[in-house]
């Protein structure tokens, strides 16, 4: 008789949970994934209105060439070729628009350097120095460079200095500083607090090539679920985990669901924000008091206001490119909350058109801005879909303001706007359970990263945390968190060898 396969329970079917599930299933585990929502994907998920799909948390990603880390991981997981990828414009995949200047960020660090020097010749030395620091910093992120080992000292050094520190060291022109830090909205931390190493990795992965997946976040999640299914794993939807089952030796033994069902497991992976973990462990003393206090004292990441518009025609200027629209020469405005009649910043993306139920092509426009949890917290006890009028009024005012800000910049789009919807941090909280509706879970700042990074392994045996709540954000961060997390169990060197052989 062959020995029984080890069992793994994965809590949450977002990017990190699904990648972990596939990795474990590839290595012989009998994997069960539990997702509280009615569909997989977590923050990746798409929603539809009248047959028109809208992306929420996946506009684009970088590095999906097989020679680059994300592409290699997705190939190793067996999903890269199941997806149809469209490159964004290599001559300018992200446009940064400032009050008096527009700058297109091209693929390639050297190409970016040349273009920046053309635009800011007086800053040539500083531009070269800033980008050289970026290339130096990424070398210390082990897995990002296909290495299992990491030199903690040099790595920590790049998370102990902020993007603001490195900018101040090299450049002085405020427009240039704003351009070099505008993509900070990809991790949602103020320039003076954002760890330079984190910024370097995220920006560098886009400079290696920016891509969209046909079918968006749903397609990515579905490909992972399909692969899991082929490997014998199972996804349970509408399956909220309410308790982590432990034995007397602080060993994870499985999970209990809201339905009361219990699933035994030899290994439990949680992709929840670590704050939510305490709800799953009613027992005293399992988690060190110091750890609990540390988590609860930490700042949660930024939250956002999303606008989703159906258009009759595509926005020509945003075909295969995104827009970072700053109203000041200061990337600080990216994190400033919008208010009725004040939209300091918006990010705009137009995914490829889709075919509607009526057979006509449908075009969408997605706008993302900062909106703090405190602006909606007073309605957090109300039910989704039945929020009070005050909340609806605020939402409508903000939606109108953001749309107006966009239409002032693109007046030609006005006649083609069909319908507009919006989301607040309460919406994000409702669908993903991300604390305070945070976009990126954790606030990945210098005081909360580097030597203060949250551990993936804690005092509970056979229990590992993955996801942007304990690691870095984005598709890349969620994926790498799964490799590092499962690497504790399967051996990171082994996973790196497999990646190299893929
Ligand atoms: C507006 C927005 C735009 C973004 N754009 C991009 C982009 O263009 N490119 C990019 O790379 N990244 C982008 N991101 C970030 C990216 O979406 C996230 O970093 C990533 O999806 C996080 O994955 P995760 O697995 O860490 O977390 P999550 O997706 O939050 O997964 C956690 C899962 O756990 C489930 N869950 C919670 N509690 C329970 C429970 N008790 N029981 C069972 N299940 C539970 C949740 O429902 C969820 O499915 C964006 C995010 C947002 C919000």
In this model, does residue 276 exceed pLDDT 90? yes
Helices 15-26 and 474-490: crossing angle in degrees, nearest 10, is 30
Enter the pTM of the model.
0.97
Q: Is residue 13 part of a domain?
A: yes
Q: Is residue 447 part of a domain?
A: no
Residue 84 CB partners (closer than 8 Å, separation 6+): 213, 214, 215
Give the end of a domain, one of 209, 241, 274. Answer: 209
Pocket of ligand 1 (CB under 6 A): 11-17, 34-37, 42-44, 56-61, 240-241, 271-272, 276, 304, 306, 368, 432-434, 439-440, 467-468, 473-475, 477-478
Closest Cα to atom 47, ligand 1: which residue?
Answer: 432
Atom of ligand 1 nearest to the CA of 241: 42
Query: 261 and 251 in one domain?
Result: yes
pLDDT band at 95 (very low <50, low <70, confident <90, very high): very high
Query: 329 and 271 in one domain?
Result: no
Q: Mind giving me the DSSP string for 245-268?
A: EE-TTSBEEEEEETTS-EEE-SEE
- Rounded to a whole number, what is the distance in angstroms from the first to the last CA of the chain? 32
In this model, does residue 458 exceed pLDDT 80? yes
Helix (H, G, I), strand (E, B) or coil at 269: strand
Question: How many domains, the chain?
Answer: 3
- CATH of residue 275's domain is 3.50.50.60
Atom of ligand 1 nearest to the CA of 15: 25
Which of the listed residues 12, 201, 258, 364 should we mutate to test ligand 1's pocket, taking the one with most ligand atoms within 8 A of CB?
12
Cα 306 to Cα 212, 409, 461, 471, 482: the distances in Å are 19, 18, 39, 24, 28
Query: 418 and 305 in one domain?
Result: yes
Q: Exposure of 148 by Cβ count < 10 A (0-12 exposed, 13-18 middle, 19+ buried)?
A: middle
Q: What is the overall mean pLDDT for the chain? A: 95
Distance CA 88, CA 321 (A): 6
What average pLDDT does range 91-113 have in this prediction? 98
CA of 400 to the centre of ligand 1 (A): 27
Closest Cα to atom 20, ligand 1: which residue?
Answer: 474
Q: Is residue 114 part of a domain?
A: yes
Give the end of a domain, one of 152, 182, 209. Answer: 209
Q: Is residue 136 part of a domain?
A: yes
Helix (H, G, I), strand (E, B) or coil at 463: strand
CA dihedral over 384, 389, 394, 398, signed as positive or negative: positive
CA of 399 to the centre of ligand 1 (A): 23
Residue 21 CB partners (closer than 8 Å, separation 6+): 8, 10, 13, 31, 33, 224, 228, 233, 235, 269
Nearest 10 degrees: CA dihedral of 171, 330, 407, 428?
Answer: 110
pLDDT band at 396 (very low <50, low <70, confident <90, very high): very high
Query: 227 and 284 in one domain?
Result: yes
DSSP H stretches of helix in 356-468: 389-409, 425-432
Give the end of a domain, one of 384, 406, 437. Answer: 437
Q: Is residue 323 part of a domain?
A: yes
CA of 218 to the centre of ligand 1 (A): 12
DSSP H stretches of helix in 27-120: 69-76, 109-119
Query: 313 and 294 in one domain?
Result: no
In this model, does residue 283 exceed pLDDT 90? no
Q: Is residue 52 part of a domain?
A: no
Closest Cα to atom 50, ligand 1: which residue?
Answer: 57
CA of 14 to the centre of ligand 1 (A): 5
Closest Cα to atom 15, ligand 1: which residue?
Answer: 474
Query: 309 and 280 in one domain?
Result: no
CA of 287 to the centre of ligand 1 (A): 25
CA of 360 to the centre of ligand 1 (A): 31
Query: 430 and 312 in one domain?
Result: yes
Closest Cα to atom 35, ligand 1: which residue?
Answer: 12
Each residue's pLDDT tens digit, 418-454: 999 999 999 999 999 999 999 999 999 999 999 898 9
Cα 172 to Cα 120, 130, 131, 191, 375: the distances in Å are 11, 12, 15, 14, 35
Q: Is residue 493 part of a domain?
A: yes
Closest Cα to atom 18, ligand 1: which residue?
Answer: 474
Residue 500 and residue 289 in contact, taking contact as beta carbons nearer than 8 Å: no
Closest Cα to atom 34, ligand 1: which residue?
Answer: 12
Each residue's pLDDT tens digit, 167-224: 999 999 999 999 999 999 999 999 999 999 999 999 999 999 999 999 999 999 999 9
Query: 432 and 351 in one domain?
Result: yes
CA of 214 to the centre of ligand 1 (A): 19
Each residue's pLDDT tens digit, 72-81: 999 999 999 9
Q: Which residue has the tokens 């670590």?
A: 274
User: Counting every residue, how long is the chain?
Assistant: 502
Query: 293 and 334 in one domain?
Result: no
Residue 371's domain comprises: 300-437
Residue 180 and residue 188 in contact, taking contact as beta carbons nearer than 8 Å: no
Residue 176 and residue 330 in contact, taking contact as beta carbons nearer than 8 Å: no
Closest Cα to atom 36, ligand 1: which residue?
Answer: 12
CA of 58 to the centre of ligand 1 (A): 9
CA of 111 to the centre of ligand 1 (A): 32
Question: Which pair of tokens denotes residue 282?
Answer: 């009613």
Q: Is residue 59 part of a domain?
A: no
Which of the listed residues 38, 271, 481 should we mutate to test ligand 1's pocket, taking the one with most ligand atoms within 8 A of CB?
271
Closest Cα to atom 37, ligand 1: which residue?
Answer: 433
CA of 249 to the centre of ligand 1 (A): 32
Q: Calculate Rg over the CA atoms of the chain.
A: 22
Query: 221 and 76 in one domain?
Result: yes
What pLDDT is stored for residue 121 in this prediction?
98
Of the listed ranges 36-40, 360-364, 372-376, 412-416, the least confidently predicted one is 360-364
Q: Name which residue leads in pLDDT, 359 or 47.
A: 47
CA of 25 to the centre of ligand 1 (A): 21
Of the candidates 243, 254, 301, the one whose C-alpha atom is nearest the C-alpha of residue 43 is: 301
Query: 221 and 77 in one domain?
Result: yes
Query: 197 and 152 in one domain?
Result: yes
Atom of ligand 1 nearest to the CA of 56: 1
Each residue's pLDDT tens digit, 414-428: 999 999 999 999 999
């Amino acid at each position: 008789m062959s020995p029984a396969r080890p069992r793994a329970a994965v809590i949450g079917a977002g990017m990190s949970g699904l990648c972990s599930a596939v990795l474990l299933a590839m290595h012989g585990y009998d994997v069960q994934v539990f997702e509280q929502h009615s569909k997989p994907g977590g923050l990746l998920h798409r929603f539809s209105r009248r047959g028109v799909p809208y992306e929420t948390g996946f506009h684009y990603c970088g590095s999906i060439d097989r020679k680059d880390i994300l592409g290699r991981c997705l190939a190793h997981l067996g999903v890269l070729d199941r997806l149809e990828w469209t490159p964004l414009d290599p001559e300018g995949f992200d446009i940064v628009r400032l009050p008096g200047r527009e700058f297109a960020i091209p693929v390639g660090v050297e190409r970016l350097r040349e273009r920046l020097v053309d635009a800011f010749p007086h800053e040539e030395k500083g531009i070269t120095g800033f980008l050289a620091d970026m290339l130096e910093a990424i070398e210390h992120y082990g897995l990002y460079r296909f290495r299992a080992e990491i030199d903690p000292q040099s790595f920590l050094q790049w998370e102990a200095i902020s993007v603001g520190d490195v900018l101040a060291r090299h450049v002085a022109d405020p427009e240039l500083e704003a351009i070099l830090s505008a993509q900070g909205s990809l991790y949602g931390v103020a320039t003076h607090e954002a760890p330079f190493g984190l910024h370097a990795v995220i920006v560098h992965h886009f400079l290696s090539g920016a891509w969209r997946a046909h079918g968006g976040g749903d397609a990515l999640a579905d490909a992972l679920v399909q692969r899991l299914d082929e490997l014998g794993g199972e996804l349970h939807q509408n399956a909220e985990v309410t308790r982590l089952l432990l034995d007397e030796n602080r060993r994870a033994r499985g999970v209990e669901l809201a339905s009361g069902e219990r699933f035994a497991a030899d290994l439990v992976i949680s992709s929840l924000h670590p704050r939510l973990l305490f709800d799953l462990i009613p027992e005293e003393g399992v988690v060190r008091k110091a750890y609990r206090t540390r988590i609860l004292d930490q700042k949660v990441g930024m939250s956002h206001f999303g606008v989703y518009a159906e258009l009759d025609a595509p926005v020509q200027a945003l075909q295969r490119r995104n827009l970072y629209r700053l109203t000041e020469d200061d990337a600080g405005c990216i994190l400033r909350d919008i208010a009725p009649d004040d939209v300091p910043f918006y990010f705009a993306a137009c995914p490829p058109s889709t075919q509607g139920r009526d057979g006509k092509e449908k075009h969408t426009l997605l706008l993302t801005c900062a909106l703090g949890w405190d602006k909606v917290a007073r309605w957090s006890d109300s039910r989704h879909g039945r929020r009070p009028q005050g909340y609806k009024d605020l939402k409508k005012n903000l939606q109108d303001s953001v749309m107006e800000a966009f239409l002032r910049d693109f007046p030609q789009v006005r006649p083609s706007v069909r319908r507009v919807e919006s989301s607040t941090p309460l919406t994000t909280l409702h669908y993903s359970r991300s604390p305070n509706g945070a976009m990126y879970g954790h606030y990945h700042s210098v005081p909360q990263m580097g030597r203060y990074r949250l551990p993936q392994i804690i005092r509970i045996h056979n229990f590992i945390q993955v996801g942007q709540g304990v690691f870095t954000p984005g598709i890349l961060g969620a994926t790498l968190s799964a490799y590092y997390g499962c690497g504790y169990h399967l051996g990171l060197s082994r996973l790196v060898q497999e990646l190299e052989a893929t």
